[in-house]
């Protein structure tokens, strides 16, 4: 009997890599379900190759196209955002790998946790929105939550050298993105093309922009806070342009355990699927002699204000992180459409955080309300041409 994996967002950067990883793992693992938002053609092609039982297109406008491309394919075709929940709850699925982008993956992740499913999480935004609820649901229902994000996979691996009580701090590394070393003045007029040219990682457009603003690292601080039940004060960020040391854990005795690997998502994806086993896969080892030097520097909190705002949102807790995330998602979508400037993204996040009164101990509905409010606020700012 093979282990059945659902890949939510199979047509994206992480999703496509996950399919190759699963293929290389051999018959012990099979693809049970896949999803895309609009790319019906690639989704149908993946369905023909990997033979999943469930194939979902979350944007219903593309259901007709999926039916056409799928032809006589032997799979159940699903449509609409709720199809991700259907997949997450399906008896046909053992592991849910979430690789959709943004808040869209939230209900499916919570549904999988409530069903006690093994979760492999690349999609960090639901963690930022509802980390506490997600981890509580997972604990209550015996759901294993494994990180796919490379930094968190590294921390997860390094943590195995001690107990939670023995951790002094965790250090998330960051490549620094395309604008590392730039001043606040330098980044004022950067173009979309420049923001999309990441020096090391090849990723989807939203996370690539998030890396350029360093919002991505801020989201990762919040992700780590919930995933490892770690106070924000014990989470640091260190710039490491080579992206070989994926993150580090410092224990109370001063010992620092790091995880190293190529800047390639195959390894963290595979480990989240095969944990606790380590098996041969498509990821290659390191040739440190060829890399030669590994460098580290402190982040520039002034130029990359997003990092300070993210820390502040994480400290305040409650609905602040939701607002940080939703304002960013809305602003990045505007930037990708060419409607605002690069620096407006972080200005909009700051505007929303300043205007928002954070609420503590919130329900899921209150979190979703805060999310919707921040998106409306960004739209309103643009309508009134405040930015
Ligand atoms: P991509 O943009 O490459 O892919 C996103 C996937 O989600 C696609 O399958 C896309 O479908 C689907 N999708 C887009 N919008 C929606 C929606 N509204 N509802 C449901 N599905 C949707 O993103 P990445 O693979 O780069 O990133 C995915 C997630 O993983 C993000 O949360 C990111 O932060 C995280 N991550 C990514 C890393 C990377 O190396 N790329 C590293 C670490 C974390 P379609 O193709 O049809 O548009
Ligand atoms: Mg990461």
Q: From the CB of 13, is ligand 1 less than 6 Å away?
A: yes
Q: From the CB of 106, is ligand 1 less than 6 Å away?
A: no
In this predicted structure, what is the pLDDT of residue 293?
96
239 CA distance to ligand 1 centroid (A)? 24
In the chain, DSSP finds a helix count (H) and a strand count (E) of 16, 11
In the chain, CATH 3.40.50.720 covers 3-147
Query: What's the Cα-to-Cα distance from 132 to each of 27, 103, 161, 317, 363, rounded to whole Å?
Result: 36, 15, 25, 10, 10
In the chain, CATH 1.10.1740.10 covers 152-263+289-383
CB 84 within 8 A of CB 35: yes
- Quote the CATH superfamily of domain 3-147: NAD(P)-binding Rossmann-like Domain (3.40.50.720)
For 168-185, the pLDDT digits (tens) are 999 999 999 999 999 999
205 CA distance to ligand 1 centroid (A)? 9
CB 56 within 8 A of CB 34: yes
Q: Among residues 127, 43, 56, 53, which one has the least CA distance to residue 94?
A: 53
Q: Tokens 């997003």 appear where?
A: 306
CATH, domain range 152-263+289-383: 1.10.1740.10
In this predicted structure, what is the pLDDT of residue 228?
97
In this predicted structure, what is the pLDDT of residue 182?
96
Q: Tokens 């699903």 appear where?
A: 78
Q: Whose CA is nearest to atom 41 of ligand 1?
A: 203
Q: What is the pTM assigned to this prediction?
A: 0.97
Q: Whose CA is nearest to atom 7 of ligand 1?
A: 100
Q: From the CB of 99, is ligand 1 less than 6 Å away?
A: yes
Separation CA 23–CA 189 (nearest Å)? 43
CB 66 within 8 A of CB 88: no
In this predicted structure, what is the pLDDT of residue 386?
82
Instruction: Answer positive or negative: Cα dihedral of 361, 164, 238, 279.
Output: negative
Task: DSSP letter for 234, please.
Answer: G
Q: How many angstroms separate the first and last alpha carbons of the chain?
A: 56
In this predicted structure, what is the pLDDT of residue 385?
86
For 333-359, the pLDDT digits (tens) are 999 999 999 999 999 999 999 999 999
Q: From the CB of 120, is ligand 1 less than 6 Å away?
A: no
Q: Which atom of ligand 1 is nearest to the CA of 124?
A: 32
Task: DSSP letter for 229, please.
Answer: T
19 CA distance to ligand 1 centroid (A)? 14
Q: From the CB of 263, is ligand 1 less than 6 Å away?
A: no
Q: From the CB of 131, is ligand 1 less than 6 Å away?
A: no
264 CA distance to ligand 2 centroid (A)? 11
In this predicted structure, what is the pLDDT of residue 1?
82
In this predicted structure, what is the pLDDT of residue 11?
98
In this predicted structure, what is the pLDDT of residue 12?
98
Q: From the CB of 56, is ligand 1 less than 6 Å away?
A: no
Q: From the CB of 39, is ligand 1 less than 6 Å away?
A: yes
- In the predicted model, residues of the chain with pLDDT beneath 70 are none
Burial label for 301, CB within 10 Å (0-12, 13-18, 19+), is middle
């Amino acid at each position: 009997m093979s282990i059945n994996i659902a890949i939510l967002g199979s047509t994206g950067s992480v999703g496509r890599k996950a399919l190759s990883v699963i293929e290389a793992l051999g018959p012990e693992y099979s693809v049970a379900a896949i999803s895309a938002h609009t790319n019906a053609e690639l989704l149908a092609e993946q369905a023909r190759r990997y033979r999943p039982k469930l194939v979902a297109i979350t944007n219903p406008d593309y259901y007709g196209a999926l039916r056409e491309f799928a032809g006589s394919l032997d799979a159940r075709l699903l449509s609409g955002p709720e199809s991700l929940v259907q997949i997450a709850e399906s008896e046909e699925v053992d592991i849910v790998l979430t690789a959709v982008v943004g808040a869209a993956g939230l209900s499916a992740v919570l549904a999988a946790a409530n069903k006690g499913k093994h979760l492999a999480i690349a999609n960090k935004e639901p963690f930022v929105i509802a980390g506490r609820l997600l981890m509580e649901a997972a604990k209550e229902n015996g759901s294993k939550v494994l990180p796919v994000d490379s930094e968190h996979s590294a921390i997860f691996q390094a943590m195995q050298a001690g107990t939670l009580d023995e951790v002094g701090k965790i250090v998330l590394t960051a490549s620094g993105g395309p604008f590392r070393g730039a001043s606040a003045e330098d980044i004022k007029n950067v173009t979309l093309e420049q923001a999309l040219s990441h020096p090391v990682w090849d990723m989807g457009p939203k996370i690539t922009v998030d890396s350029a603003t360093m919002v991505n690292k801020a989201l990762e601080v919040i992700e780590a806070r919930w995933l490892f039940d770690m106070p924000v004060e014990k989470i640091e960020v260190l710039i490491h342009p080579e992206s070989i040391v994926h993150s580090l854990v410092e224990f109370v005795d001063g010992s620092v355990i790091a995880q190293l690997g190529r800047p390639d998502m195959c390894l963290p994806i595979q480990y989240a699927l095969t944990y606790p086993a380590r098996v041969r896969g498509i990821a290659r080892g390191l040739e440190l002699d060829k890399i030669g030097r590994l460098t580290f520097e402190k982040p520039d909190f002034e130029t990359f204000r997003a990092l300070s705002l993210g820390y502040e949102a994480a400290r305040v807790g409650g609905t602040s992180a939701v607002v940080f995330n939703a304002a960013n998602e809305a602003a990045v979508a505007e930037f990708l459409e060419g409607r605002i400037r690069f620096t407006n993204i972080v200005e909009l996040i700051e505007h929303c955080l300043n205007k928002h009164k954070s609420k503590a101990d919130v329900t899921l509905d209150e979190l979703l309300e805060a999310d919707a409010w921040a998106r409306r606020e960004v739209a309103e700012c643009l309508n009134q041409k405040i930015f």
